């Protein structure tokens, strides 16, 4: 089985915004309400953070339960890891996810300010000041034959797409316009020179875009 | 994790027909062209029978790659297993699937004419003259905590639905009318007294129906 580079369950507004301005500890998505973008995923039975036995089991449950399938490593940007900017003033911050992050694999955090690796639950975080290509080489090796997830945020996704390192991608388009913030694209069709694109409207109001290489 | 009873990737026409009349060795679906019902699944990258590296990776690939996820046993009717009727004249027939059937678990074949169990590749076929409840009790135990798939055909699905033993179900509705044959339902809404129903139109022309218990 070929090792693939995948983007999964990333969510943007109709105008392509994936995160708001002014990220803070209290507001990981800045001025954007994360429920507007991610509410569809939190409603499913297999949302990784779910603790009760409820949840929907339609199309969108296939998408959330695919999150871990054959993933051996994740690469994320520093802003997905935390709200800090510049050099670390301390190393108390261990991410947004509490004692058991949902990754359960090595995670490579791209940052100009590396710090020592650490493990939390089944996840180990490494910090790299590296190009997309260099980070991917390390993640591929750590993934041990499994796929590598590019986890976001917007800036990291754009960098990997511009470097043409992505094999498949699922993006959920939420039915609202945000006007400003970090923008993944003007419209999904921008990528159809390199990718097949399938768009599916879910009863939740979300349009799911599935891309895979031509 | 609760053990669930699941129907997956079952396909019917717009008028509810899942298999044709006059099943034979040459025509497992009788007068129905199986590509009309199942072509969407065969096109995907993760179709279990695929031998080349191609295939689509959109919505429908999520559905075919979910086929084995957390399944520990399957129950099928005798007409899914083969075209014979009545007592076995010999036991040469080992199913339609060649030397490596796609199940990789115990499979329980419901029949009034049991024969000895046998293994083929990673699949073991058992033959039971039993009620749905009795067969499910055996399959649950064999599944060792994993889910049980009800694999078809139409008659077997109807029996398990009538006995109210199904927890979730995915049925693909193909855009054609067949007029006659084995009918799963008049329309999917028949089941909404007991199930949530989500309907999603795929670019392939298939409408995917996802059911889960209320």
- Tens digit of each residue's pLDDT (9 = 90 or more) over A120-179: 999 999 999 999 999 999 999 999 999 999 999 999 999 999 999 999 999 999 999 999
Chains A & B: contacts with CB separation below 8 Å: 62
b/e sequence A86-96, b meaning 16+ C-beta within 10 Å: eeeeeeeebbe
The percent of residues above 70 in pLDDT, for chain B, comes to: 100
Q: In angstroms, what CA-CA distances link B34 with A165, B74, B174, B200? A: 38, 21, 11, 22
Q: Is A63 close to B62, i.e. CB distance below 8 A?
A: yes
Chain A residues whose CB is inside 8 A of the B65 CB are 66, 69
Q: Which of B58, B169, B194 to mutate to test the interface with A (most CBs of A within 10 A)?
A: B58
Q: Give the Cα separation of A73 and A167 in Å (integer).
A: 15
> In this complex, which of B61, B69, B200 lies closest to A59 when CB atoms are compared?
B200
Q: Give the Cα separation of A203 and B148 in Å (integer).
A: 27
Other CB atoms within 10 A of residue B167 CB:
18
Domains of chain B: 5-84+101-207 (3.40.430.10)
pLDDT tens column, B107-136: 999 999 999 999 999 999 999 999 999 999
pLDDT-derived band at B90 (thresholds 50, 70, 90) equals confident
Apex CA B8: angle with CA B7 and CA B13, to 5°? Answer: 100
Pairing label, strands A118-120, A123-128: antiparallel
Other CB atoms within 10 A of residue B163 CB:
12
What pLDDT is attached to residue B62? 97
Is the predicted pLDDT of residue B11 greater than 70, yes or no? yes
Residues of A with CB under 8 A from a CB of B: 2, 53, 56-59, 61-63, 65-66, 69, 168, 196, 198-203, 208, 210, 212
Q: In angstroms, what CA-CA distances link B54 with A146, A213, B43? A: 18, 11, 9
Instruction: Provide the Cα torsion A71, A77, A78, A83; round to 10°.
Output: -100
Ranges of chain A whose pLDDT falls below 50: none
Chain A residues whose CB is inside 8 A of the B62 CB are 62-63, 66
Q: Which of A58, A188, A214 to mutate to test the interface with B (most CBs of B within 10 A)?
A: A58
Chain A residue whose CA is closest to B45: A212
Q: Which residue has the higher pLDDT, A49 or B39?
A: B39
Is the predicted pLDDT of residue B165 greater than 90, yes or no? yes
Q: Give the Cα separation of B209 and B12 in Å (integer).
A: 11
**ipTM score for this prediction:** 0.92
pLDDT-derived band at B172 (thresholds 50, 70, 90) equals very high
What pLDDT is attached to residue B1? 62
Q: Any idea which residue has 């339902």 for tokens? A: B185
Q: Is the Cβ–Cβ distance between B125 and B118 less than 8 Å?
A: yes
């Amino acid at each position: 089985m070929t090792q693939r580079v995948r983007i999964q369950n990333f969510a943007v507004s109709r105008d392509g915004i994936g995160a708001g301005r002014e990220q803070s500890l209290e507001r990981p998505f800045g001025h954007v309400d994360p429920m507007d973008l991610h509410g569809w995923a939190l409603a499913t039975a297999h949302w990784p953070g779910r603790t009760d036995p409820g949840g929907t089991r339609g199309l969108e449950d296939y998408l959330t339960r695919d999150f871990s399938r054959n993933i051996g490593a994740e690469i994320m940007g520093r802003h997905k890891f935390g709200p800090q900017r510049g050099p670390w003033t301390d190393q108390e911050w261990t991410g947004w996810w509490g004692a058991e992050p949902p990754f359960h694999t090595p995670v490579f955090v791209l940052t100009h300010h590396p710090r020592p690796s650490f493990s939390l639950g089944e996840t180990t975080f490494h910090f790299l000041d590296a190009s997309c290509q260099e980070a991917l080489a390390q993640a591929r090796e750590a993934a041990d034959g499994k796929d590598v997830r590019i986890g976001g945020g917007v800036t990291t996704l754009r960098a990997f797409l511009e470097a043409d390192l992505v094999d498949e991608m699922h993006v959920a388009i939420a039915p609202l316009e945000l006007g400003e913030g970090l923008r993944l694209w003007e419209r999904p069709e921008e990528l159809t020179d390199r990718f097949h694109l399938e768009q599916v409207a879910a009863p939740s109001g979300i349009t799911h875009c599935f891309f895979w290489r031509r």
